Amino acid sequence: MKHAQLVIGTAGAGKSTYCSTIMQHCEASRRTVHAMNLDPAAEYLAYTPSIDIRDLITLEEVMDDLRYGPNGGLVYCLEYLLDNFEWMENELDDYQDDYLIIDCPGQIELYTHFPVMKDFVGHLQRLGYQVVVVYLMDAQFTDDAAKFISGSLAALSAMIQLELPHINVLSKIDIYLQRHTTPDGTQPRRLGRRLDRFLNFDINRLLTDKNRRGDMDRPIARSNVQQGNFASLNSAVARLLEEYNMVSFLPLDITDEDSIELVLSHADHAIQYGEDLEPREPKVRLCPAPRPRGQVSSRIGPPSRRPRPSLTLPSGRPTRSDRPSPAPTDPGTRRRRLECANLAVGTPQYKRKPTTDPEPRMRRAHMFACLLALLFFFLHALIPLLGAGPGPGKGPAPGHCGVLRGKKRPDT
């Protein structure tokens, strides 16, 4: 199974930064990920792409040669890519089984109006790729409820147009937190709750909350949502999105490893990444030599499963480097744990023999049943002879002396 993330979003939302952040994060956890740049106008990228549309065509060439404007030129470049998709197939051949992160251009109409991106995804799917869309929206959109609603509608529009598993991400949370932090380093008490309303699209609260001065440095601007000619339309659209639970967001703070992991794990889950991976064989020798105390290889053990982080606000959480390292374990305990781990993965030399072999037990039960049957048979055969005495019609044959029980043989 092949997997890919299609990273889209408004211009400057942080798509390239997201790609580079995810790549670094995966590299650190020894996961192979390759980036593909689909922006023919990109001048600077924060990562090194393995596949780059600029190797095929650039916006500059199109604008110079065909005298197109930047937006028309961009659409032309992507259509040119689709017309020459064999080039892309050749490029993809080098990364057959790898996870791809595809950095897309920032023109939102490519996902909401034109069919080019949908066709591009169709080609990928024909090659066997499972694709998830990661839609990025800048956290500064939360400053204004109207802006936020229109950004959410754009996300919804892309979701409907592309018809793919879809994740919405509120990017640049680090900047958002910084902006709301006072010079003495404290954050307003309501900051988390305020952000939560956007993440869960609790627009009802956004529209009805009183913006008391002093609650926030920057109160949510609601004026253009609740006033003017479009107040009812705005409210209706917002309530529709909220009631049908169509849009929600994950926070992304690129300075917080847990936040990055949260977004990545949602994306992985959406395309079932990792479910077809074979658990790696532990590297253990068949007849392990006794290890000196305290030298236990930490690589041995069952394949570790990353705990799925809960969907909580990243603010104020310690980063991975801040967390205290676990207390050292004594070598004896570690050895016992290692043995347990090896038992759990069924390493041959540690396979425990069943304490009782089932075969002899079965045989014994079988013999016992036979004996019982024989005894039963003999009892049935002997009882009439021994106990019953001559009954009517069952007496000894004439001339037979018989056995007279309890009676003396009459003297003759």
Ligand X SMILES: Nc1nc2c(ncn2[C@@H]2O[C@H](COP(=O)(O)OP(=O)(O)OP(=O)(O)O)[C@@H](O)[C@H]2O)c(=O)[nH]1
- Residues in touch with ligand X (CB under 6 A): 9, 11-17, 39, 106, 171-172, 174-175, 254
Provide the minimum distance between the beta carbon of 74 and ligand X in the complex, in angstroms, as a whole number. Answer: 11
Provide the minimum distance between the beta carbon of 16 and ligand X in the complex, in angstroms, as a whole number. Answer: 3
Which residue's CB atom is positioned nearest to ligand X? 106
Closest by CA to 217, choosing from 192, 197, 196, 191, is 191
Nearer to ligand X, 316 or 354 (CB): 316
Tell me how far apart the alpha carbons of residues 118 and 96 are, in angstroms, rounded to a whole number.
Answer: 22
Provide the minimum distance between the beta carbon of 86 and ligand X in the complex, in angstroms, as a whole number. Answer: 26
Provide the minimum distance between the beta carbon of 335 and ligand X in the complex, in angstroms, as a whole number. Answer: 44
The residue whose two tokens read 């019953």 is 388
Nearer to ligand X, 40 or 106 (CB): 106
- Please, where are the H alpha helices in 180-256? 191-199, 203-208, 223-226, 231-243
Nearer to ligand X, 46 or 246 (CB): 46
Provide the minimum distance between the beta carbon of 350 and ligand X in the complex, in angstroms, as a whole number. Answer: 47
Tell me how far apart the alpha carbons of residues 265 and 305 are, in angstroms, rounded to a whole number.
Answer: 12
Nearer to ligand X, 110 or 284 (CB): 110
Tell me how far apart the alpha carbons of residues 309 and 307 are, in angstroms, rounded to a whole number.
Answer: 6
Tell me how far apart the alpha carbons of residues 184 and 161 are, in angstroms, rounded to a whole number.
Answer: 46
Nearer to ligand X, 76 or 342 (CB): 76
- Strand-pair partners of 171: 138
Q: Residues near 172 by Cβ (< 8 Å), separated by ≥ 6?
A: 14, 138, 139, 140, 252
Nearer to ligand X, 135 or 273 (CB): 135
Nearer to ligand X, 174 or 339 (CB): 174
Provide the minimum distance between the beta carbon of 102 and ligand X in the complex, in angstroms, as a whole number. Answer: 12
Provide the minimum distance between the beta carbon of 145 and ligand X in the complex, in angstroms, as a whole number. Answer: 22
Q: How many CB atoms neighbour CB 23 within 10 A?
A: 21
Handedness of CA 221, 222, 228, 233 (dihedral sign): positive
Nearer to ligand X, 174 or 196 (CB): 174
Closest by CA to 230, choosing from 162, 155, 341, 145, is 145
Provide the minimum distance between the beta carbon of 111 and ligand X in the complex, in angstroms, as a whole number. Answer: 12
Tell me how far apart the alpha carbons of residues 248 and 155 are, in angstroms, rounded to a whole number.
Answer: 10
DSSP string, 193-205: HHHHHHHTT-HHH
- The answer to whether the beta carbons of residues 131 and 92 sit under 8 Å apart is no
- The answer to whether the beta carbons of residues 267 and 18 sit under 8 Å apart is no
